[in-house]
Amino acid sequence: MSFSYARQDDTVELMVFEHYGRQDGRLVERVIDHLDNRHLADLPEFLPIGTAVFMPEIEPLRQPEDRLIVNPWDR
């Protein structure tokens, strides 16, 4: 849990990607919907320099499972 601060031409999407290293699922929406980030809805897409964005702890992605793929034409 930490705050990130907007630099020139930053968007919430870019800040989420830089912080978490991914942007999958509803990650951006979860950051925006956090109580500490309600002020973001009133701001333009390109955030003013120095805007604080709270980055909550988010569970890591599940590791992909190793699965055997069998095709019908394999014998």
The distance of Cα 3 from the centroid of its chain, to the nearest Å, equals: 13
The pLDDT, as a whole number, for residue 15 is 95
Say if residue 66's pLDDT is above 90: no
Write the DSSP string, 7-75: -TT--HHHHHHHHHS---TTHHHHHHHSGGGGGGGGS-SSPPTT-EEEE---PPPPPPPP-----TT--
Mean pLDDT of the chain: 87
Q: Model pTM?
A: 0.74
What are the beta bridge partners of residue 55? 2
